[in-house]
Chain A
């Protein structure tokens, strides 16, 4: 029968319990959903890497001999070693050139090909095994003949199969530096026996190790470095591998974001349980006394009251977990399908998810226990009597002279707030969460558009960028530059090398002209120095390079390494690398080969058809392409705004009902005294207004922190400056107040429904 009482009490207090349910549901939904996604992602990747025996260490250098490979194989902790040769090539399809990394491999026992369709790879077979997405997007069928240009020589072969490769779960090229677009570039793998040139110079050694721990791995790396004591050899592990590390970091970012949002919702669920259960046990004090007098044991009664928090949070959490598990991973996997090539992505249950559910239920249950404990300790004779009213101690404020100058409604609301601190806190937290999410969401939008304006208004002021075809020679390009009064620039992919890192980036070489502008670390306008090179801050950070240091780099496809001094740092939103003037570049004994012309004139449409022109991009095109690549961001923004509204409505409605029920007698008294309903509603609205204002004020800095956090979770290649525009502040405040006032208007309509006589009847 107590269970029936439980069900009926839940029904009577359904508004509160539904909101507690929703909060635990949402908190666990987000947490378990994102956790299932990231755990599933980790698992799928681990399985994939394991199945294909992804290398543990990579050695990059020039001319690895068989002797060296054998020496490494002998080292303790090494399982297997394989030499490989990787070259940057390109493939021309319908007049458009696409980067095509070409990997010549031996037996392919380490970092194995994952064959999707076609023939198995064998060392004595000719032809190419091509990345599936690129091949399909460009209508290259198995059996077709493809021609790849390597070091100026064409290499022709039959496409033997569609593949995936575990080192290419995520990869970028010089052309696509913001978001991957695997339709534009790809890779092929072929047998080392197909190598078209005379001299076979292996430039990679893959190492498969037995070692597991970080310390052992560091130790092994050191031993390998000692073994192959050459300056230009870099040993990298999985964490330094772009594909591996980017996916790993992405999953970890998801986890962190999930944690952040869940905490807000669960905190509110717990606060909701505190207020609801405290109020309910206080209201049922006499019932508790009666049950005790009837002979119910303390254990049974405690169990009964604890059940409310327990069942609500249990049902909420489990439903949240189930719904989260089946919805969230699909949404996120779907959103990043284009960025990561990892097979068999599926949600997975993690220990963290189970811990989160247990924790949510245990905390809720414990909080319910604390709420009813007070009523249970006294003997029934005491509990049967109404509670001794709390001593109304006058607060310092009420004693001050300011108090007397306040209006009645201010005094009334202040007292109410001071005496219901938990309830007030819950309201502030709810509003603050709503505001925080709104600022975070709108701030993301601002920051991305800010980045776009930064990129295309401040840093590059040309209206058109004419991209030259690779076969266009210097003089042709110069003609175009003269004709359009433009500035020639060269953009090439380069590779940096430090003691323990290898990273790709972009080299920009500027000819005379004034279309490119540069900003320093603090976004102040700077002029690049004539001597040395200037590096983007993000690149400098990831290479751990400071201004004044020397860096080693080479243009991808060329063999000689340069060692130059970094003389300035600048910032760029999407292209990370180095920039120098043409004179500096030529001084380093390089030939200036302009790849693009920047101009303020509008290029005629017919220009694209010319052989020497690859494409013509207007600023408008570039902006649109950029915005389109931010789809994932839009999903997140929409989710955050929806979360903000749900959070605000649920918390404030719950809070409103709660305080309204508690104030029924007071409101009835005011009515009897002759206050008009509208006047009473005004008094109630005032408190709501205060709480909303306070929540908004606290929400602004927290929202900014959230935005900074989100910006930091972006890939290495993006330098996003967190910006919240004035308009976004205004909209967030309007949105938050709209939610708050809307809820309050619905609630305060209840003032009219209070029946004075009923409300004031004796408390029994």
Chain B
């Protein structure tokens, strides 16, 4: 497997008052193309910081983030925007759909950035929402909204799918559907899926599990035989 992203001694500092503290300290990790990675840790451990840096949504204080032989930390604002537009799909905990656009339009929105996108209808059909395409987010259930959000992330055909607590606002049943969908994307479409969660049960479905604690990487464990998302329960 080819490495997709590599973190080399990456740190992120915050200034609060006159105290400096690390949201992430000297993180080293490698993420390979096509694998499903779960980043586990309690709240405040640095998971979101890790995800934001992976997605080019924040600036690192020091270290290198290598993506395809390019160092993201040297990127300008515009280059980062382009990186996000081309390579990254994001799925948020609270879906973050544009409330004034329908499900279809939320997905079609991606055409404004990238010409080479999937057909919004297909993208929505692939997440099982062919029947609800023309409804506004407020008319959809949480699970449906999250699936729309996944369709939106997939529409760009990104290499990297970042998911921030994608089941955090959902009940077990719908949450599991979302996980099944994400695993399918990784296995069938060979997407690199990175999921941030505090739910350790999800570790079982991942190819690799990265545990984060107090701003540092605690462990990186490869999962020899990940189970199907259908079997996971919490």
- Does B47 belong to the interface (CB within 8 Å)? no
A380 to B81, CA, bound (A): 10
B211 to chain A, nearest CB (A): 22
Question: Which A residues touch B152, using CB under 8 A?
Answer: 294
- Out of B59, B108, B110, name the residue touching A379 (CB < 8 Å): B59
A381 to B196, CA, bound (A): 15
Considering the complex, which residues of chain A in the window 271-308 have a beta carbon less than 8 Å from any beta carbon of chain B? 286-287, 289-298, 300
The answer on a CB contact under 8 Å between A5 and B98 is yes
Question: Which A residues touch B49, using CB under 8 A?
Answer: 381
Question: Which A residues touch B98, using CB under 8 A?
Answer: 5, 287, 290-291
- Does B33 belong to the interface (CB within 8 Å)? no
Question: Which B residues touch A381, using CB under 8 A?
Answer: 48-49, 52, 57-58
A332 to chain B, nearest CB (A): 44
The answer on a CB contact under 8 Å between A293 and B108 is no
Considering the complex, which residues of chain B in the window 76-124 have a beta carbon less than 8 Å from any beta carbon of chain A? 77-78, 81-82, 84-86, 88, 90, 92, 94, 96, 98-101, 105-106, 108-114
The residue among B48, B55, B100, B156 with the most chain A CB atoms within 10 A of its own CB is B100
Question: Which B residues touch A379, using CB under 8 A?
Answer: 52, 57-59
- Out of B77, B81, B100, B106, name the residue touching A296 (CB < 8 Å): B81
Considering the complex, which residues of chain B in the window 47-77 have a beta carbon less than 8 Å from any beta carbon of chain A? 48-49, 52, 55, 57-59, 77
A44 to B111, CA, bound (A): 54
Known A290-B92, A294-B90, A294-B113; contact A9-B100, beta-carbon cutoff 8 A? yes
A378-396 Cβ-contact flags toward B at 8 Å (1 or 0): 0111101000000000000
**Main SS at interface, chain A:** helix
Question: Which A residues touch B48, using CB under 8 A?
Answer: 381
- Out of A1, A8, A298, name the residue touching B112 (CB < 8 Å): A1
A2 to B57, CA, bound (A): 21
A300 to B81, CA, bound (A): 11
The answer on a CB contact under 8 Å between A380 and B82 is no
The answer on a CB contact under 8 Å between A4 and B101 is yes
Question: Which B residues touch A404, using CB under 8 A?
Answer: none
Question: Which A residues touch B58, using CB under 8 A?
Answer: 379-382
A5 to B59, CA, bound (A): 29
A652 to chain B, nearest CB (A): 27
A466 to chain B, nearest CB (A): 78
Known A295-B156, A296-B112, A379-B57; contact A12-B84, beta-carbon cutoff 8 A? no
Question: Which B residues touch A8, using CB under 8 A?
Answer: 100-101
- Does A764 belong to the interface (CB within 8 Å)? yes
A12 to B101, CA, bound (A): 12
* Chain B residue nearest to A11 in the complex (CB): B100
Known A4-B101, A5-B100, A5-B101; contact A297-B109, beta-carbon cutoff 8 A? no
A298 to B76, CA, bound (A): 12
B53 to chain A, nearest CB (A): 9
Question: Which A residues touch B94, using CB under 8 A?
Answer: 764
The answer on a CB contact under 8 Å between B84 and A1 is no
Question: Which B residues touch A2, using CB under 8 A?
Answer: 109, 112
B215 to chain A, nearest CB (A): 15
- Out of B77, B85, B106, B108, name the residue touching A295 (CB < 8 Å): B85
A754 to chain B, nearest CB (A): 18
Question: Which A residues touch B92, using CB under 8 A?
Answer: 290, 293, 384
Q: What number of A-B contacts does a CB cutoff of 8 Å give?
A: 85
- Out of A1, A286, A296, name the residue touching B108 (CB < 8 Å): A1
By size class, the interface of chain A is 20 to 34
* Chain A residue nearest to B51 in the complex (CB): A381
The answer on a CB contact under 8 Å between B81 and A12 is no
* Chain B residue nearest to A9 in the complex (CB): B100
A593 to B111, CA, bound (A): 93
B127-143 Cβ-contact flags toward A at 8 Å (1 or 0): 00000000000000000
- Out of A4, A9, A286, A294, name the residue touching B84 (CB < 8 Å): A294
The answer on a CB contact under 8 Å between A297 and B81 is yes
The answer on a CB contact under 8 Å between A295 and B82 is yes
The answer on a CB contact under 8 Å between A293 and B90 is yes
A294 to B152, CA, bound (A): 9
Question: Which B residues touch A293, using CB under 8 A?
Answer: 55, 57, 84, 90, 92, 96
A287 to B90, CA, bound (A): 13
A287 to B94, CA, bound (A): 11
The residue among A1, A4, A8, A379 with the most chain B CB atoms within 10 A of its own CB is A1
Considering the complex, which residues of chain B in the window 167-214 have a beta carbon less than 8 Å from any beta carbon of chain A? none
* Chain B residue nearest to A6 in the complex (CB): B100
The answer on a CB contact under 8 Å between A294 and B57 is no
A355 to B112, CA, bound (A): 34
B62 to chain A, nearest CB (A): 16
Question: Which A residues touch B105, using CB under 8 A?
Answer: 1, 4-5
- Out of B57, B106, B108, B113, name the residue touching A380 (CB < 8 Å): B57
A352 to chain B, nearest CB (A): 39
B154 to chain A, nearest CB (A): 12
* Chain A residue nearest to B88 in the complex (CB): A295
Question: Which B residues touch A286, using CB under 8 A?
Answer: 96
A297 to B82, CA, bound (A): 8
Known A300-B112, A379-B57, A380-B58; contact A295-B84, beta-carbon cutoff 8 A? yes
* Chain A residue nearest to B78 in the complex (CB): A297
B39 to chain A, nearest CB (A): 15
* Chain B residue nearest to A300 in the complex (CB): B112
The residue among A2, A290, A291, A382 with the most chain B CB atoms within 10 A of its own CB is A290
A59 to chain B, nearest CB (A): 74
A297 to B113, CA, bound (A): 8
The answer on a CB contact under 8 Å between B96 and A298 is no
The answer on a CB contact under 8 Å between B100 and A12 is yes
A286 to chain B, nearest CB (A): 6
B179 to chain A, nearest CB (A): 21
Question: Which A residues touch B81, using CB under 8 A?
Answer: 292, 295-298
A282 to chain B, nearest CB (A): 15
Question: Which B residues touch A382, using CB under 8 A?
Answer: 58
Considering the complex, which residues of chain B in the window 18-68 have a beta carbon less than 8 Å from any beta carbon of chain A? 48-49, 52, 55, 57-59
A759 to chain B, nearest CB (A): 15
Question: Which A residues touch B101, using CB under 8 A?
Answer: 1, 4-5, 8
Question: Which A residues touch B82, using CB under 8 A?
Answer: 295, 297
B58 to chain A, nearest CB (A): 4
Question: Which B residues touch A291, using CB under 8 A?
Answer: 98
The answer on a CB contact under 8 Å between B57 and A295 is no
A293 to B59, CA, bound (A): 13
Instruction: Kindly list 18 other residue pairs between chains A and B, CB separation below 8 angstroms, not including A1-B112, A379-B58.
Output: A1-B105, A4-B101, A4-B105, A5-B100, A5-B105, A9-B100, A287-B96, A287-B98, A291-B98, A292-B81, A293-B90, A296-B81, A296-B113, A297-B78, A297-B85, A380-B57, A381-B49, A382-B58
Some 22 contacts from A to B, beta carbons below 8 A apart, are A1-B106, A1-B109, A1-B111, A1-B112, A4-B100, A8-B100, A286-B96, A292-B84, A293-B90, A294-B90, A294-B152, A295-B82, A295-B85, A295-B156, A296-B81, A296-B112, A296-B113, A297-B81, A297-B82, A379-B52, A379-B58, A384-B57
Q: Which 7 A-B pairs have the closest CB atoms?
A: A295-B85, A8-B100, A381-B58, A295-B84, A381-B52, A290-B96, A1-B109
The interface of chain A, by Cβ under 8 A from chain B, is 1-2, 4-5, 8-9, 12, 286-287, 289-298, 300, 379-382, 384, 764
